[in-house]
């Protein structure tokens, strides 16, 4: 029976991490997206959303009963106390889903945990300490990140810089990396690099 290879995937905002994640999925990896799960566990009608409303009040609901994500984001961004209270609700629920999804992955799968704040969370430990067999860091210079956020998300330069400043530094992310993917070239350059890394990851299954 081939061993599962557990991989952490991270990168700064607008670094191209989601593109790398999609490429790994296309190559056959089982991708567990922490952001996607964080949205899932507070969908309308979930115990997670009920807990958020109990903690922060019904003002964070839209007219049709969904979580008002922009309002939630505005509340917790820059307010460490509010962010920690939200994380105390969401993180345990996300962890339960991660454990379940990983348990149902096929034998010998390359299981990629897409975690934007991996460097900040301290979860990039060795496997025997609950961490990963390898960590992929997607990297792009700050000026490229800012350009992408302004162009693709219509953010102001100040907002983009604030989001970058709120995350781990590139040096912090590189310090946990097994592989650093430089996402400043073409899409085909990126695809070739991801294919090379995936090939090395599958070799670890033996």
- Which pLDDT score is estimated for 15? 95
Sign of the C-alpha dihedral computed for residues 53, 56, 62 and 66 taken in this order? negative
Q: For residue 81, what are its two tokens?
A: 């106390």
- In the chain, where the domains are located: 1-29+110-206, 39-108
Blockwise average pLDDT, block size 10, the chain, 206 residues: 86 95 97 93 96 94 94 85 93 92 91 91 63 93 94 93 91 94 95 97 82
The whole-model pTM stands at 0.83
Q: Would you say 24 and 201 are in contact if contact means Cβ atoms under 8 Å apart?
A: no
Question: Coil, strand, or helix at residue 61?
Answer: strand
- Which pLDDT score is estimated for 27? 97
Token pair 């567990």 is found at 32
- Which pLDDT score is estimated for 117? 85
- Which pLDDT score is estimated for 122? 75
**1-29+110-206 placed in CATH 3.40.50.360:** no
């Amino acid at each position: 029976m081939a061993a599962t290879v557990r991989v952490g995937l991270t990168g700064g905002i607008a670094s191209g991490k989601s593109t790398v994640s999609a490429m790994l999925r296309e190559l056959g990896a089982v991708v567990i997206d922490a952001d996607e799960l964080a949205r899932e566990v507070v969908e309308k009608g979930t115990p997670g959303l009920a807990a958020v409303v109990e903690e922060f009040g019904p003002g964070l609901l839209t007219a049709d009963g969904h979580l008002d994500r922009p309002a939630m984001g505005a509340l917790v961004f820059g307010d460490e106390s509010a962010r920690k209270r939200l994380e105390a609700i969401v993180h345990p629920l996300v962890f339960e889903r991660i454990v379940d999804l990983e348990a149902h992955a096929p034998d010998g799968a390359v299981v990629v945990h897409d975690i934007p704040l991996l460097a900040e969370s301290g979860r990039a430990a060795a496997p025997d300490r609950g961490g990963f067999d390898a960590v992929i860091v997607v990297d792009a210079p700050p000026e490229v990140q800012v350009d992408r956020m302004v162009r693709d998300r219509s953010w102001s330069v100040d907002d983009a810089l604030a989001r970058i400043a709120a995350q781990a530094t590139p040096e912090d992310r590189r310090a946990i990396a097994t592989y650093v993917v430089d996402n400043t070239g073409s899409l085909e350059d990126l695809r070739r690099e991801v294919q090379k890394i995936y090939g090395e990851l599958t070799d670890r299954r033996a």
